[in-house]
Amino acid sequence: MTKEIRAIVLALIGNTPGAGHLRMTPKSTGREGMGRRRLRFLAIGLALAMVAAATTAGALTLMVAFPSATKGVKPKIVAIVDEAGNVLFGSGNPGKVEVTNFPAAAATVAPGAASQIRTLISVSSGNTSAACADNVVGLPSHAFDNDVRPGGGGVYESFSIPPGQVFLVTGVDWVASGVAASTNYTVELKFETMAGYNVSSALSVALADSTNHAGNSMKFGTPLVLHSNNRLCLRGDGTAANLSGTAQGFFAPDA
């Protein structure tokens, strides 16, 4: 039995820790003395059982002294922070936090120069714009194949995409005339390849007013990409005296 266990037993039975034997109190007489001796022996037995159980289970607590930090060496403070430097987990006082691995910002699609910006037009009447492959009576479909000159004044010229470039369409405005009042008119934007195959890229619907006109605008957060081997067509879903539109965009390298 270790000194610590012996001290616990002696304290429980009421003896002086420094004594080498158990010191009993003077004898009592009668039933009172018998009762006190019995209680004392029960206390001793209980104490021994508790110490034995603790020793067997390895439940005794040891006081451990850790060595002090080396002089002049500061402990490392660990914390998890977000991209703004806010502490999410760990030390509430992480010291100076400097975030260097910010998420990469999304690339902004924009023209590199004003000379790259163009406005294209598509007009169904007067053969102003070429008819697309799906153009039929009652369903007009014409290409955005003319470029409005920067000087304006209604002057336009044939549109083409230079080699190594694409044209990014950022928005389209359209208007249809001769549509029955209070009826919906729908237009589609379609890419047409050299093989004449049309793919619908966007839809727009508008209600015709009392003057028999319907119109709407489309804006594209992700531009439509027009390559040199295809063209963009404006197609109406019903009879109209004229269907015309403008497409805004700019040239960009075909990377």
Closest CA to 214 of 180, 246, 188: 180
Contacts (Cβ under 8 Å, ≥6 apart) of 252: 109, 111, 112, 116, 165, 166, 167, 168
Residue 235: strand pairing partners = 141, 188
- Residues 218 and 232: beta-carbon distance below 8 Å: no
The token duo for 136 is: 């039929």
Q: Domain spans of the chain?
A: 3-57, 75-100, 114-253
Where is mean pLDDT largest: 24-33, 148-157, 226-235?
A: 226-235
What is the C-alpha separation between 49 and 52, in angstroms, rounded?
5
DSSP run (H or E) holding 8: helix 3-13
3-state DSSP call for residue 114?
A: helix
User: What is the reported pTM?
Assistant: 0.57
DSSP run (H or E) holding 53: helix 30-57
What is the C-alpha separation between 123 and 110, in angstroms, rounded?
27
3-state DSSP call for residue 84?
A: coil
Mention the CATH class of domain 114-253.
mainly beta
pLDDT at 51 over 60: no
- Residues 161 and 227: beta-carbon distance below 8 Å: yes
pLDDT value for 83: 61
Residue 172: strand pairing partners = 218, 247
* Widest pairwise Cα distance in the chain: 135
pLDDT value for 76: 59
Q: What percent of the chain has pLDDT over 70?
A: 55
Mean pLDDT, the chain, as a whole number? 75
What is the C-alpha separation between 123 and 164, in angstroms, rounded?
28
- Residues 190 and 141: beta-carbon distance below 8 Å: yes
pLDDT at 230 over 50: yes
What is the C-alpha separation between 252 and 170, in angstroms, rounded?
12
What is the C-alpha separation between 163 and 187, in angstroms, rounded?
30
pLDDT at 34 over 80: no
3-state DSSP call for residue 32?
A: helix
Q: What are the tens digits of pLDDT across the range 139-177?
A: 899 999 999 876 666 678 889 999 999 999 999 999 999
